[in-house]
Amino acid sequence: MSQATRSESCSTHAHAHTHKKKLVLCSGEILYDFLSTTPGVGLGKSESFEKRPGGSPFNIAVGLARLGQRTAFLTKLGDDAFGLELRDLIEREGIDLRYIVKGKGQNTTLAMAAIDADGKPEFRFYRDNAADVSLTRSEVPEIHPSDLAIYHFGSVALGEPPASETYIQIFHEMKRAGVLTALDPNIRPLYLRDKPHFRPRLLEWISQVDVLKLSDDDLAWTSERSGVEEGLAALPLNPDGLVIVTEGARGARALWQGRTVRVPGFAVKVAETTGCGDSFLAGTLFCLAPLASLSCLDEAKLVETLRFSCACSALVASRRGAANAMPSLEETEAFLRAQ
């Protein structure tokens, strides 16, 4: 590519976001979380719960849509009352429904969560005949790679076949077709039944994906190392990929073309941290979607992307509700101007 051609193809400003023809396709689980409103008593003694839509890939899709990015979501919904409500919610958020598969006679996954007397989280999943984990490749509507700017996959869905195999197959298909791919493993040890089987597969995906986002906890679990630098050095990273590690209130760092870029977090009064990582990645994908390729990134653009993503995350931390807390583009830009 000539310098003139590269400059022209890389000139789109992400926040102006004039490149709206292509979709970001997020894939994975969508469910309802029932969160105990009585901390310290555990699930068995909790008497009331707050119902919220959840699932990391769904949160990311909502975050992208609220920022103004054309977004589609790939999942399989139950045809129970919960599934019908989730479909309406997806539509209300302006997310493209073309890849939503309806599970006939199947249920929506429900997750119950509470804090026990020792301050530890207690979870229980109800996945009897659940639609989201049963998605097969043959059920997925045709995906035209030319329609997509980015294909995102990850989270709990990667540990539950046959849906996990479906998402990985699509990842390989999109990768071969030249679509930018993004992975957030969103490791939840309590959900993963077989680390010795799952971890080698995760390392394989990490070596191939274009954009990898890890929390510091994800990195420690995956690399089996304690420090960020040590953890990154232990992973088989894609040398042409972008790797981002989020570190909570401390901000984030990115590894790109052998260089490390760090951006501090923003100080906010924290209401809840659920969904912060999802909002961060939504901000990142929003900024990357207009680019012709990762080769268009430079250090200034990467710093801008990380700051924008940290702002999205900070806004969610200051609210309650995960998907419901995702900020708009106007809110995010106003937050940045106020810093």
Count of CB atoms situated within 10 Å of the CB of 204? 12
Q: Catalogue the E-assigned strands of 216-257.
A: 242-246, 252-256
Residue that the structure tokens 């999942």 belong to: 75
Give the closest residue to 153 by CA, choosing from 118, 202, 190. 202
| pLDDT per position as a tens digit, 59-80 | 999 999 999 999 999 999 999 9
The answer to whether 207 touches 177, Cβ cutoff 8 Å, is no
What is the token pair recorded at 29?
A: 């689980």
The answer to whether 64 touches 24, Cβ cutoff 8 Å, is yes
What is the token pair recorded at 114?
A: 């509470």
pLDDT score for 282: 98
Domain covering 21-29+55-77+95-102+142-337 in this structure, CATH number: 3.40.1190.20
What distance in Å separates the CA atoms of residue 187 and residue 12, rounded to the nearest whole number?
33
In the predicted model, residues of the chain with pLDDT beneath 50 are 1-19
pLDDT score for 16: 45
The H or E element that residue 160 is part of is: none
pLDDT score for 156: 83
pLDDT score for 245: 98
| pLDDT per position as a tens digit, 79-89 | 999 999 999 99
Q: Tell me the whole-structure pTM to 2 decimals.
A: 0.91
109: phi > 0 → left, psi -120 to 50 → alpha, else beta; which? Answer: beta
What is the token pair recorded at 278?
A: 């999802």
pLDDT score for 35: 86
